[in-house]
Amino acid sequence: MNIPTFSRHRRLRRSPALREIFTEAEFSLNDLVLPIFVDEGATDFVPIKSMPGVFRIPESKLESEIERYARAGIRSVMTFGISHHKDHVGTDTWQHAGLVARMASRIKKVAPDMVVMSDTCFCEYTTHGHCGVVHDGEVENDATLVNLGKQAVIAAQAGADVIAPSTAMDGQVAAIRVALDANGLMDTPVFSYSTKFASALYGPFREAAESELKGDRKAYQMNPMNRREAVRESLADEAQGADALMVKPAGAYLDVIRDIREATRLPLGGYQVSGEYAMIKFAAAADAIDESRVVRESIGAIKRAGADLIFTYFALDLAEQGI
């Protein structure tokens, strides 16, 4: 009798079919959310230099663009507005005719089945570029919560399916939940950017969103080195009534995704952010890596770490390639 002294892992790798049926982590279009930038002032598509292949969508072309995404198989988008009506607090975000509301209503009108997640923040709508109300050089937590509630109600009334607060204010979920419920919107879910790091990987997004920010967000977003606190942040949002949680960025924080996956039963998202996108795009453009394979590997790894949904600028490419 031949007693094995080691296991032969290669047995299950011998053919493509064997490898495929034994794959553990897989993703489909049901798992991907496409973040989009909608510019209320642009007359044509504006390329984002630091994000090759990504464009700001002129608001006038939003409907046709969404129809194209829907035909390609995109199930969900996260909306970011490029505002030309900025002020000190981001008043436009809670106007019935403001950009946040218009993005949701225009999309839902042409694509009722598209899941619209409304990024709920102020930084694209404030003259200082911070994610909330600034007083004496500081972002005021509780004053920002009041405005978050107003924006969430406006977005939900305009048709947004999901409210996704990204301000990194303490209490953001509770404030939004209370405001939604008080306005009869108890069925609108809150998908919180619950663990959000003050990451250098947001660089290209600032160009994409025409951010006015000088300085940084380290007084409200998390220290990238803090793993225990990362779990506390997400559990705090769960306790406030969040319907789903998120880790952002994703690729450099797979340990955090795994920790949170094991600490909660809520759905979990991972946001492959603009800098992660840019690193892959520019490395591929230099012929250093195979773009399609690295895209699949990086998104698959976020899934494997424990994310159910992945926010990625590659979603449209993947949809167009039939995944």
Q: Would you name the residues annotated as active-site residues?
A: 196, 248
Q: By the criterion CB under 6 A, which residues form the site for ligand PBG? A: 119, 121, 123, 131, 166, 202, 205, 217, 273-274
CB of 269 to ligand PBG, least distance (A): 12
Which residue, 123 or 278, is less far from Zn ion as judged by CB? 123
CB of 24 to Zn ion, least distance (A): 35
Cβ neighbours of 283 (radius 10 Å): 14
Which residue, 93 or 166, is less far from ligand PBG as judged by CB? 166
What number of CA atoms fall less than 13 Å from residue 21's CA on the CB side? 6
Q: Are 167 and 144 in contact (CB under 8 A)?
A: yes
Q: What is the dihedral of CA 55, 59, 64, 69, to 10 degrees?
A: 50
CA angle 245–246–247, rounded 5-degree value: 140
* Strands 76-82 vs 115-120: parallel, antiparallel or unpaired: parallel
Q: Which does 273 bind (CB under 5 to 8 A by kind): Zn ion, ligand PBG, none?
A: ligand PBG
Which residue, 111 or 131, is less far from ligand PBG as judged by CB? 131
Which residue, 65 or 233, is less far from Zn ion as judged by CB? 233
CB of 115 to ligand PBG, least distance (A): 18
Q: By the criterion CB under 5 A, which residues form the site for Zn ion? A: 121, 123, 131
Q: Are 241 and 273 in contact (CB under 8 A)?
A: no
How far from chain centre, in Å, is Cα 65? Answer: 19
The 10 Å CB-count burial string (b at 16+, else e) for 254-266 is bebbbbbbebbeb
- Residue 292 token pair: 């399609």
CB of 85 to ligand PBG, least distance (A): 18
